[in-house]
Amino acid sequence: MKYQSQKVAYAYFLVAMGLFAIQVLGGLLAGWIYVSPNTLSELLPFNVVRMIHTNALIVWLLLGFFGAAYYLVPEESEREIFSVKLAYLQLIILVVGTLGAVGSYLVGIHGGREFLEQPLWVKFGILVAAVIFLVNVSLTFLAGRKTAITNILLMGLWLLCLLWVFAFINPDNLSLDKMYWWFVVHLWVEATWELVMAAILGFLMLKLTGVDREVIEKWLYVIVATALFSGILGTGHHFYWIGLPGYWQWLGSIFSAFEVVPFFAMMSFSFIMVWKGRKNHPNKAALLWSLGASTVAFFGAGVWGFLHTFHGVNYYTHGTQITAAHGHLSFYGAYVALNLAMFTYAMPILRGRDPYNQVLNMVSFWLMTGGMAFMTFTLTFAGTIQTHMQRIVGDYYMDVQDQLGLFYMMRFGSGIAVVLGALLFIYSMLVVRREVIKPGSATVPGE
């Protein structure tokens, strides 16, 4: 650790991993309810379980991003964070807000804009936390060295915080509501988060491979350019059937087809950088997660998204288990695995230890990735059958669902693998330890 204030990231990563555990356990319960529908049906209905599953995911990924920013901005800017106290204050607000949201869901207080179900006071809390964050990292950034990595990272984080404003706008007209809702949801995961992802990936490549900064930064700009060029108008692939003009079917199809490009570029980028890199970095697990994240992101977000992005296909597959398959693999590859890559890289340094427990960490990678891949396949098969029976033959929803029990059982099995992998990951991060590294030694290999 070069700068003392980077230590803030440690607290963020801890909370993020706690929520990660809650998220996967919630997912496992939801998967079990598909197999055995009467489970907890009166005590904890499916809609509440799902809210906890999705909301915990979003919050822990954001905490991971914030933590990553607090870790890498000082190092890139070559100075301490503007205010460590503000950073902790921000974390406290987010933790109180998250616990408040979960508590209110459990007693039946929630909204019905998917993913934005938080009570209003929690939404304000998030806004305040976001403002604190932006002030804090921006002042750090402005006072220090400016690099492409921090440029892109901050641009992504600024835009994602600005888009949060649409969480407060809820038009009475359902179609308007849906259109502006996608301003948060799509423009987060398919535009601004991609900037954050590319920046963090670039940082990891810089540290792990030792390739020249100049080369990495140039390609970062190319990658994020393709992300925004395709992603902004690619929002159109959500505008097909919610009451918007028909031209979105063409615009959405064309631009979202290009959304494969940034993910392919990120995958190629990370492999080429590793191939060109001369450095033999000791943290092999971080390298595995980085390469894994960009590869699974390409399949989950790129290929599985492409699979049903054309409006002629989407007309039949929209809102079936195919959407669920795509959603799971893309979130896992692009954002979960990337965050875990960052944790794996930074945690040993933050704790002043050797990058030890590598084997356990790599086992957790394969358990989780294998589990998610299997889950994606089963849901894709289930979705294909559902599409045919429901959308083409015209059988009713529940009749079709009754035919899919076998797939839901297999999906639950893959969920167990994912949960085991996640718990093993947290264990390998926090519990297993080896020698303490003396301050000032070469724990952070140069660029």
Partner 1 sequence: MSELLTKSRARNVFYGGSIFFVVVFIALTIQSHHYIVNTSTAGMPLTEEVILGKHVWERHSCINCHTLHGEGAYFAPEVGNVMTRWGVLDDPEGAFEMLDGWMQAQPSGIEGRRQMPFFEITEEEMKALAEFLRWADQTDTQNWPPNDAG
Contacts of partner 1 in 47-106 (CB under 8 A): 47-48, 50-51
The conformation of residue 78, written as its DSSP 8-state character, comes to T
Q: How far from 277 is each of 150, 289, 305, CA to CA, in Å?
A: 22, 17, 31
Q: Which of 68, 122, 211, 224 binds partner 1 (CB under 8 A)?
A: 224
Nearest approach, Cβ of 46 to partner 1 (angstroms)? 5
254 binds partner 1 (CB under 8 A): no
Q: Which is nearer to partner 1, 83 or 323 (CB)?
A: 323
Q: Which is nearer to partner 1, 236 or 302 (CB)?
A: 236
Q: Rounded distance, CA 259 to CA 57, Å?
A: 23
Q: Rounded distance, CA 256 to CA 305, Å?
A: 8
Nearest approach, Cβ of 398 to partner 1 (angstroms)? 7
46 binds partner 1 (CB under 8 A): yes
Longest dimension (CA), the chain: 68
Nearest approach, Cβ of 113 to partner 1 (angstroms)? 7
Q: Which stretch binds partner 1 (CB under 8 A): 81-89, 200-208, 230-238, 261-269?
A: 230-238
Q: Which of 84, 128, 163, 244 binds partner 1 (CB under 8 A)?
A: 244
207: tokens are 């540290």
Binding mask 360-399 for partner 1 (x = CB under 8 A): ------------------------------xxx-xxxxx-
Nearest approach, Cβ of 186 to partner 1 (angstroms)? 11
DSSP codes, 191-246: IIHHHHHHHHHHHHHHHHH---HHHHHHHHHHHHHHHHHHHHHHGGGGSSSSS--T
DSSP codes, 129-182: HHHHHHHHHHHHHHHS---HHHHHHHHHHHHHHHHGGGGS---SSHHHHHHHHH
Nearest approach, Cβ of 255 to partner 1 (angstroms)? 9
Nearest approach, Cβ of 444 to partner 1 (angstroms)? 24
440 binds partner 1 (CB under 8 A): no
Residues 6 or more apart whose CB falls under 8 angstroms from that of 265 comprise: 219, 222, 223, 226
Name the one residue in this structure whose structure tokens are 């902004």. 232
Nearest approach, Cβ of 173 to partner 1 (angstroms)? 6
Q: Rounded distance, CA 22 to CA 423, Å?
A: 10
Nearest approach, Cβ of 372 to partner 1 (angstroms)? 18
CB 203 within 8 A of CB 152: no
Q: Which stretch binds partner 1 (CB under 8 A): 70-78, 168-176, 199-207, 424-432?
A: 168-176
281 binds partner 1 (CB under 8 A): no
Nearest approach, Cβ of 432 to partner 1 (angstroms)? 37
Q: Which of 23, 118, 192, 235 binds partner 1 (CB under 8 A)?
A: 235
Nearest approach, Cβ of 243 to partner 1 (angstroms)? 4
Q: Which stretch binds partner 1 (CB under 8 A): 176-184, 271-279, 282-290, 418-426?
A: 176-184
Residues 305-364 contacting partner 1, CB under 8 A: 315-316, 318-321, 323-324
H or E stretch at 424? helix 405-430
Name the one residue in this structure whose structure tokens are 């990272």. 153
Q: Rounded distance, CA 296 to CA 328, Å?
A: 11
401 binds partner 1 (CB under 8 A): yes
Nearest approach, Cβ of 48 to partner 1 (angstroms)? 8
Residues 6 or more apart whose CB falls under 8 angstroms from that of 34 comprise: 408, 411, 412
Nearest to 387 by CA among 303, 304, 323: 323
Q: Rounded distance, CA 195 to CA 225, Å?
A: 9
243 binds partner 1 (CB under 8 A): yes
Residue count, binding to partner 1 (CB under 8 A): 72
203 binds partner 1 (CB under 8 A): no
Q: What is the 3-state secondary structure (H, E, C) of 279-323?
A: CCCCCHHHHHHHHHHHHHHHHHHHHHHHHCCCHHHHHHHCCCHHH
CB 433 within 8 A of CB 20: no
111 binds partner 1 (CB under 8 A): yes
201: tokens are 């990936």
Q: Which of 232, 261, 274, 409 binds partner 1 (CB under 8 A)?
A: 232
Residues 125-154 contacting partner 1, CB under 8 A: 148, 151
Q: Which stretch binds partner 1 (CB under 8 A): 82-90, 93-101, 210-218, 357-365?
A: 210-218
